Amino acid sequence: MSLFELNKIAGALLAALLTAGIATTISNLVYPEPHVPEILLAVPASDEDPAPPAEAPTEPEIVPIAARLAAADPAKGEREVRKCLACHSFGAGEPHRVGPNLYGLVNRTKAAGDDFLYSLAMADRGGTWTYDDLDAFLAGPQAYVPGTTMAFAGVRDPDARAAIIAWLRLQADTPAPLPTH
């Protein structure tokens, strides 16, 4: 094998490593790593240190959507909803994208957008988009509507969901009244 051939192989390997490094850097910028709770980063106790007795796990307190909406900041919701812009439009009269236009969504009949072909699972869901329904859907679309074609994992943070819903509420000719309970 000639020196020229070895140089080509080494150059190809270096180009592959450079491409992988650039792709990783871009991926980390676009999808930052989620915060890992400190409890998961704790070092296990050694055999010499007895572990403290484990406390019974407590259920996280579920704050109703009405209370979260009362404290929600629609401006934060507008920032949060940017991740949805790739598939949805939000303005009056704007065309559908991969997903339907979400203008006037709160209290709208599910799967009722004009000239948009909803998945069968969404079309069969029925009802209207209440605040509770929107909260549950945004938490996990596939869990709320099994078989939906929406390929979004959901928003885990309840306060972020409330902010998104508060902003969505304002995207209407007449915003729906806030829930009282």
Domain count, the chain: 2
pLDDT at 112: 86
| Residue ranges with strand state E in 28-160 | none
Residue 180 lies in a domain: no
Residue 12 is predicted with a pLDDT of 92
Does 15 map to a domain? yes
Closest of 161, 147, 132, 11 to residue 71, by C-alpha: 161
Q: Supply the pLDDT for residue 104.
A: 94
Q: Which two tokens stand for residue 64?
A: 């109703």
Both ends of the chain: CA-CA distance in Å?
78
Q: Please give the pLDDT value at position 25.
A: 81
Intervals of the chain under pLDDT 70: 32-60
72 and 159 part of one domain: yes
Structure tokens at 133: 């329904």
pLDDT of residue 39: 54
- Give me the domain span that covers residue 138: 65-170
**42 lies in some domain:** no
Kindly give, in sequence order, each residue whose CB lies less than 8 Å from that of residue 45, ignoring residues fewer than 6 positions away: 51
pTM given for the model? 0.66
Q: Report the pLDDT value the prediction gives residue 61, as an integer from 0 to 100.
A: 73
- Rounded to an integer, what distance in angstroms lies between the CA atom of residue 138 and that of residue 83? 12
CATH number of the domain enclosing 158: 1.10.760.10
